[in-house]
Chains A and B, each alone.
Chain A
Amino acid sequence: MFSLEGITTNVQDWLFMKFNPTLALAIECVIVILLAISLFAILGLVLVLMERKVAAHIQIRLGPNRVGPGGMFQTVADTLKLIMKEGLVPDMADKFLFNLAPFVVMMVGMLLLAPIAFAKNFQIWDINIGVLYISSVSSLSVIGILMAGWASNNKYSLLGAMRSGAQIVSYELSAGFAVLTIVVLTGSLQLSEIVNAQQNGWWIFKGHIPAVIAFVLYIIAVTAETNRAPFDLAEAESELTAGFHTEYSGMRFALFFLAEYINIFIVCAIGATLFFGGWMPLHIGNWEAFNHIMDYIPSSVWFMGKTFFLIFLIMWFRWTFPRLRVDQLLNLEWKYLLPISLFNLLLVAVIAILGWHF
Chain B
Amino acid sequence: MYNQTEIIKDTSELGAEGELVINMGPQHPATHGVLHLVVTLNGETIKKIEPHLGYIHRSIEKMCESLTYRQFIYVTSRMDYLSSHINNLGCALLVEKGMAIEVPDRAKYVRVILSELTRIASHELWLGAMAMDLGAFTPFFYAFREREMITDIMEDTCGARLTMNYIVPGGLMYDIHPDFQKKVKAFITQFKSKVNEYEDLVTNNVIFQSRTKGVGILSAEDAISYGCTGPVARASGVSCDIRKIYPYEVYDKVEFDEVLETAGDSFARYMVRVKEMNQSIRIIEQLIDNIPEGDFVGKTKNVLKLPKGEFYTRVETARGELGVFVVSEGGTTPHRIKFRSPGFSNLSVLNHIAAGSKIGDLMASMGTLDLVIPDIDR
Contact = CB atoms under 8 A, between A and B. Distances in A.
Interface string A33-60: 0000000000000000000000100111
Interface centre among B132, B358, B359 (most CB of A within 10 A): B359
A238 B138 contact: no
Contacts of A320: 136, 138, 201
Interface in A308-358: 319-328
A155 B360 contact: no
A156 interface: yes
B95 to A, nearest CB: 41
A323 B134 contact: yes
A319 B201 CA distance: 11
Contacts of B210: 324-325, 328
A229 B207 CA distance: 12
Contact of B145 (A60, A321, A322, A328): A60
Contact of B138 (A230, A319, A325, A328): A319
> Looking at chain A's contact residues, is the secondary structure mostly helix, strand, loop, or mixed?
loop
B256 interface: no
Interface in B223-248: none
Band of interface residues on B: 20 to 34
A78 interface: no
A239 to B, nearest CB: 5
Contact of B363 (A59, A239, A326): A239
Interface in A216-271: 229-230, 232-233, 236-241
A2 B132 CA distance: 46
Interface centre among B132, B201, B207, B363 (most CB of A within 10 A): B207
Contact of A322 (B141, B208, B358): B208
Interface string A121-137: 00000000000000000
Given A155-B22, A328-B211, A229 B135 contact: yes
A91 interface: yes
Interface in B311-361: 358-361
Contacts of A155: 20, 22
A66 interface: no
Interface in B196-237: 201-202, 205, 207-208, 210-211
Given A237-B29, A238-B133, A241-B28, A159 B359 contact: yes
Contacts, number: 88
B137 interface: yes
A155 B132 CA distance: 22
Band of interface residues on A: 20 to 34
B131 interface: yes
B135 A159 contact: no
A325 B46 CA distance: 14
B81 interface: no
Contacts of B131: 322
A18 interface: no
A226 B2 CA distance: 40
A42 B22 CA distance: 39
A324 B363 contact: no
Nearest to B133: A238
B211 A325 contact: yes
Contact of B207 (A59, A159, A233, A321): A321
Interface of A: 55, 58-61, 91-92, 155-156, 159, 163, 229-230, 232-233, 236-241, 319-328
Given A159-B20, A322-B208, A323-B211, 11 more contacts: A60-B145, A233-B360, A236-B360, A238-B29, A238-B132, A320-B138, A321-B136, A322-B135, A322-B136, A326-B358, A328-B211
8 contacts: A58-B138, A159-B22, A232-B135, A238-B134, A241-B29, A320-B138, A321-B135, A323-B135
